[in-house]
């Protein structure tokens, strides 16, 4: 058994594997499927969040590569490889795009090393690191990315795992402060909303049974991550509505893109 394999815990459900289950993937275990079904029973639309967040990723990356000329991406909290990963979307537009993926889940690491292969003109790297290790991430990412040039910082569904509000805002600010003008923040976050009370119940179930635990924030609190940045239209909205050609029903996953 490798070091990576020894770190994989199949006795407790894990968020990356449950999202993989909800989006039709096969990289999950019975414990993840059982928890995923329990959560879906509490909130039948929860699986749509994972799909909406993935579609938002595609639209945001495509916009940045096509319209903003961004060819460097730092994707923290990668999650398990799926269809249309960041490098695949970016390299369709710019084959020489460079992408650094960051995650601290051993199953994600194992799959990323095997599956995240891009165009020969570009470059892909993977870092086994925690979002809280800002200095370590930046130092390692600088071996692949030119931080003196614009970078898209991708934080999709990951700051929800930082419980302390001020710590989470500080982490995002430190990362953006280290990036060049013209860089962009792409962020999505589960929200608590009076119109979606069943989401709170599903999150409470998850925090009791799953790992890692997550923190919901209000839409206004999510918008605070973009303080000091120029928010691209339509602002911080349900990720299902962000520049979607045919917006679907709002989901309790809000997202935005901001320019430094």
Return the H-helix or E-strand segment holding 30.
helix 30-42
Residue 167 φ/ψ, nearest 5 degrees:
-65, -40
For the chain, the farthest-separated pair of C-alpha atoms sits apart, in whole angstroms, at 48
The DSSP code for 92 is H
Instruction: Give the tens place of pLDDT for each residue, 96-125.
Output: 999 999 988 777 777 666 655 655 666 888
Q: Which of 100, 153, 154, 92 is nearest to 128 (CA)?
A: 100
| Percent of the chain whose pLDDT exceeds 70 | 87
pLDDT digits (tens, 9 = 90+) for 34-73: 887 887 777 777 767 777 888 899 999 999 999 999 999 9
pLDDT band at 3 (very low <50, low <70, confident <90, very high): low
CA distance 66 to 56: 15
Q: Write down the pLDDT at residue 1.
A: 42
Total-model pTM: 0.85
């Amino acid at each position: 058994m490798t070091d990576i394999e020894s770190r994989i815990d199949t006795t407790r459900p894990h968020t990356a594997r449950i999202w993989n289950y909800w989006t039709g993937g096969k990289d999950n275990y019975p414990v993840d499927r059982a928890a995923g079904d329990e959560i879906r029973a509490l909130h039948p639309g929860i699986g749509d969040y994972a799909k909406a967040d993935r579609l938002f990723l595609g639209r945001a990356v495509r916009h940045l590569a096509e319209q903003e000329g961004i060819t460097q991406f730092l994707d923290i909290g990668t999650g398990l490889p799926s269809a249309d990963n960041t490098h695949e979307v970016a390299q369709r537009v710019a084959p020489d795009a460079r992408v650094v993926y960051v995650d601290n889940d051993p199953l994600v690491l194992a799959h990323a090393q095997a599956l995240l292969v891009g165009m020969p003109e570009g470059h892909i790297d993977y870092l086994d690191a925690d979002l809280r290790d800002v200095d370590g991430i930046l130092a390692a990412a600088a071996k692949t990315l030119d931080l003196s040039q614009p970078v898209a910082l991708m934080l999709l569904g990951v700051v929800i795992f930082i419980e302390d509000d001020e710590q989470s805002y500080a982490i995002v600010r430190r990362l953006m402060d280290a990036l060049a003008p013209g860089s962009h923040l792409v962020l999505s976050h589960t929200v608590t909303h009076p119109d979606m009370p069943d989401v709170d119940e599903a999150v409470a179930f998850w925090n009791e049974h799953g790992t890692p635990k997550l923190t919901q924030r209000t839409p206004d609190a999510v918008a605070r991550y973009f303080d000091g940045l120029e928010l691209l239209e339509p602002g911080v909205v349900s990720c299902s509505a962000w520049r979607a050609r045919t917006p679907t029903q709002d989901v309790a996953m809000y997202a935005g893109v901001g320019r430094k």
